[in-house]
Amino acid sequence: MNEGLSDLRKSLARAKAVYHQQRGEELKLLQDKADQEQRLAEVRAATERLEKVRLLLQEAARHAREQGRRQVEFMVTQALQFVFGGDLDFKVVIEEKRDRPEAEFYVCSSYGGDLRVETAPQDARGGGVVDVISLALRLALLHAFRPQGYPPQVGLGGPVILDEPAKHVSEEYAPQVAQFLKSFSQSLGRQIIMVSHNQHLADSADIAYLVEMSQGRSSVRRIR
């Protein structure tokens, strides 16, 4: 009788030990679960914050891109109308392709009619439209670029250096190109240094030098 009671007590003690061991393991698993759920909640909250920041930065980039697009359109349109007159407009279309913004350029004009036509610059009317657009784009980007450390109202500093600007512009439009460059220089306070064979551009300069080749040697003399 006593031996049976002793065996029962031993079995009970072993069962209690197993129970407490398994209960301890259960509590540890429950605590691990709670910790994991807490970490998951923190990760989700951080992910949500990052997504909000991403959307905010994306919107800020879109706004800055839109501001830049408008500024470039305005400056190039001014150049086209200054040089060629008429109703020429420059249009920039930005689209997201492969998660990257890509720009397409168009020249818009009614060409004296009622219907406005959009064409790629290289397909626009002759007279050097592509050259004027290229020149105006370079000037617009120089003016719009804001390097770190520069005041917010100032673009990239220093003179503008041009090599044969508007090389393929028709002779009849060359005086307007010269006047456009002079107006750009005066209105934005930028010095322009250029090399050109065009007499109209040379005549528009405040200071001009003539470079001549004679018997294999170059000579330079100031002509203005």
- The per-residue pLDDT for 99 is 72
Residue 105 lies in a domain: no
Task: Provide the 10 A C-beta neighbour count for residue 83.
Answer: 26
The domain that contains 210 carries what CATH number? 3.40.50.300
Residue 222 lies in a domain: yes
Task: Provide the 10 A C-beta neighbour count for residue 167.
Answer: 13
For residues 184 and 190, is the Cβ–Cβ distance under 8 A?
yes
- The whole-angstrom separation of Cα 150 and Cα 17 is 75
- The per-residue pLDDT for 97 is 77
- The per-residue pLDDT for 22 is 87
Residue 175 lies in a domain: yes
- The per-residue pLDDT for 207 is 92
Q: Number of structural domains, the chain? A: 1
Cα distances from 190 to residues 135, 148, 161, 167, in angstroms, run 15, 20, 10, 21
Residue 96 lies in a domain: no
- What residue ranges of the chain have pLDDT lower than 70? 1-4, 111-113, 125-127, 144-157
Helix (H, G, I), strand (E, B) or coil at 214: strand
- The per-residue pLDDT for 177 is 93
- The per-residue pLDDT for 1 is 60
Residue 128 lies in a domain: no
Residue 58 lies in a domain: no
**The overall pTM is greater than 0.75:** no
Residue 197 lies in a domain: yes
Residue 170 lies in a domain: yes
The boundaries of the domain holding residue 222 are 158-224
